[in-house]
Amino acid sequence: ALLGAEGEAFLARNATRTVVLYSNGMVHPAQAWAELASRGYDNVRVLEGGLGQLYAEVLTPASLRGPISERGAQSAAKRFAAALDLYFGAKTPPAEPVTRHFATDPPRLEQPTLVSVDWVARRRGKSVLLDARDGDSEFAAGHLPGARHLPVARLRGPLGDVTDELLAADELARILGELGVDDETEVVVYSGRKLEDATQVALAMALVGHRRLAIMEGGLAAWTGQGHALTSEAPRIENLRYRVHVPDENFTVRLEDVVRASRVGKPPILDVRPTTEYQGHEEREVRGGHIPGALSRPSTQDVVEAEDGLWLRPRDELLAAYAELGLTPERSVIVSCRTGHKASQTWFILRYLLGFQDVRWYDGSWQEWSKHPELPVVAVDVTQK
159-192 pLDDT tens trace: 887 888 999 999 999 999 999 999 999 999 999 9
The strand pair at 359-362 and 333-336 is best described as parallel
Quick one: pLDDT at residue 320?
96
Distance CA 187, CA 256 (A): 33
- Fold classification of 252-369 (topology level): Oxidized Rhodanese; domain 1 (3.40.250)
pLDDT exceeds 90 at position 26:
no
pLDDT exceeds 90 at position 119:
yes
pLDDT exceeds 90 at position 218:
yes
CATH node for 113-225: 3.40.250.10
Lowest mean pLDDT segment, chosen from 92-101, 292-301, 310-319: 92-101
The 3-state DSSP class for residue 317 equals: helix
DSSP at 274:
-
pTM of the entire structure? Answer: 0.77
The strand pair at 269-271 and 333-336 is best described as parallel
Taking the CA atoms of 220, 224, 230 and 235 in sequence, report the sign of the dihedral they define.
Answer: negative
pLDDT exceeds 70 at position 203:
yes
Quick one: pLDDT at residue 383?
47
Tens-digit pLDDT profile for residues 299-357: 999 999 998 999 999 999 999 999 999 999 999 999 999 999 999 999 999 999 999 99
Distance CA 143, CA 232 (A): 6
Quick check: 383 and 281 in contact, CB under 8 A?
Answer: no
Quick check: 339 and 367 in contact, CB under 8 A?
Answer: yes
List C-alpha distances in Å: 258 to 162, 163, 293, 333, 385. 16, 19, 11, 11, 31
Domain with CATH 3.40.250.10 in the chain: 113-225, 252-369
pLDDT exceeds 50 at position 214:
yes
Percent of the chain whose pLDDT exceeds 90: 65
Could you tell me the pLDDT band of residue 97, with boundaries at 50, 70 and 90? low
